[in-house]
Amino acid sequence: MRSILVLATSAAMMATGISHADDIDDHGNQISPNPIEQGFLISPVKLNLKGKNVFQVGWGSYLVNAVGDCSGCHSFPQFLPQGGPGTNPAAGSPYTGTPSDQSKNGQLVANINSAHYLAGGQCFGPFMARDLTPEPNGMPEGLTQAEFIKVMRTGEDIHCEKEPNDAICSLPEGGPPTAVLQVMPWPTYHSMTDADLKAIYVYLTAIPPATACNTVANGCPGFSGDAQGNPVNYAYTNTDTCPNPAPPQ
């Protein structure tokens, strides 16, 4: 499928008079000929492209997975140990190893936790990252495209305005209606173009639904550890795709 998409992307670029050399004259040092192709290469999950603009999905994946680091907060655990059932069982977390053996020119070698990709659950003090995967209505976090762009531009917690009974809305960041998100770096994403934000949204509609390893019922252990300074583990059950404690990320 990815090979077909790469060929389709290349054909479309040729039809519009755009060449790979027109993108970035990088003298052969770019990982992929263009960001759209790279977006498809680095997406760690099977995508549903039915009825979607392929260019938007590829560009959205590039922004989500290579630029915005959305997975760093919203995929938890983001990486699985070596041998775990992720995208690359031969690898593990790229944060392990001294020194790093990652290539300077190739793809990231990591065992990404595709089963819980962008499903949320990671704690930041008393706050918890949201599930960005599509709800039964097909919309990421239940938001329309216009609502998603508003969140990214203003930080308004529209999710909790629409679904106040969601358990995550009982946490401090859920707060009263129109509360401003305190952890999500919307001020940075605010300056993205409309085309960028729409592409991110379309990509999020193309990923599979997933559930988080950690829930509000499990609680958030915080950063500081116990009274003796030992790390406090999360309360969720330790499984192959939800290792507890989680690998570094």
- Confidence (pLDDT) at 168: 87
Share of residues in the chain with pLDDT > 70 (%) = 80
Element (H, E) at 163: none
Does the pLDDT of residue 145 top 50, yes or no? yes
**165: containing domain:** 2-21+31-82+111-218
Domain assignment present for 99: no
Domain assignment present for 100: no
Domain assignment present for 59: yes
Mean pLDDT over each residue of the chain, to the nearest integer: 84
Average pLDDT of span 79-84:
94
* Residue pLDDT, tens place only, 40-60: 999 999 999 999 999 999 999
- Confidence (pLDDT) at 144: 97
Q: 55 - beta bridge partners?
A: none
Domain assignment present for 68: yes
CA angle (203 as vertex; 104, 34 as ends), nearest 5: 40
* Residue pLDDT, tens place only, 159-210: 988 888 988 888 876 666 557 888 899 999 999 999 999 999 999 999 999 9
The mean-pLDDT minimum among 100-104, 134-138, 241-245 falls in 100-104
Tokens of 61: 């994946």
Domain assignment present for 62: yes
Domain assignment present for 212: yes
- Confidence (pLDDT) at 51: 96
Domain assignment present for 44: yes
Q: What confidence category does residue 230 fall into, taking pLDDT thresholds of 50, 70 and 90?
A: low
- Confidence (pLDDT) at 11: 46
Cα of 60 vs its chain's centroid, Å: 11
CA angle (36 as vertex; 35, 41 as ends), nearest 5: 90
Residue pair 128/214 in contact by the 8 Å Cβ criterion: yes
Tokens of 81: 């140990």
Domain assignment present for 187: yes
Does the pLDDT of residue 231 top 70, yes or no? no
Instruction: Give me the number of domains the chain comprises.
Output: 1
Single out the residue of 134, 142, 200, 137 nearest to residue 166, CA to CA.
142
DSSP state of 127: E
Does the pLDDT of residue 130 top 70, yes or no? yes
The predicted model scores a pTM of 0.84
